[in-house]
Amino acid sequence: MATNLPGVVAVRDSKDPGGPKLLFTPADWQAFVGGVKNGEFDR
């Protein structure tokens, strides 16, 4: 996760630095992390 882009959360595969990047707003990223912590994506 990149921390040098203000107002954006950038995520990429560290094994493929030239590959695609995903950009999220901080609110969207917090919602995703909260969902993971709450088990919303568990099967």
Burial class (CB in 10 A: 0-12, 13-18, 19+), 27: exposed
Q: Give the pLDDT band (50/70/90) at residue 2.
A: low
Q: What pLDDT, in 10s, does the model give residues 17-43?
A: 899 999 999 999 999 999 999 999 999
Backbone phi, then psi, for 7, in 5-degree steps?
80, 5
Q: Could you tell me if 35 and 41 are in contact, meaning their C-beta atoms sit under 8 angstroms apart?
A: yes
Provide the pLDDT for residue 15: 96
Q: Give the pLDDT band (50/70/90) at residue 1.
A: low
Sign of CA dihedral 7, 3, 11, 27: negative
The Cα 1–Cα 4 span in angstroms is 9
CA 22 to chain centre: 7
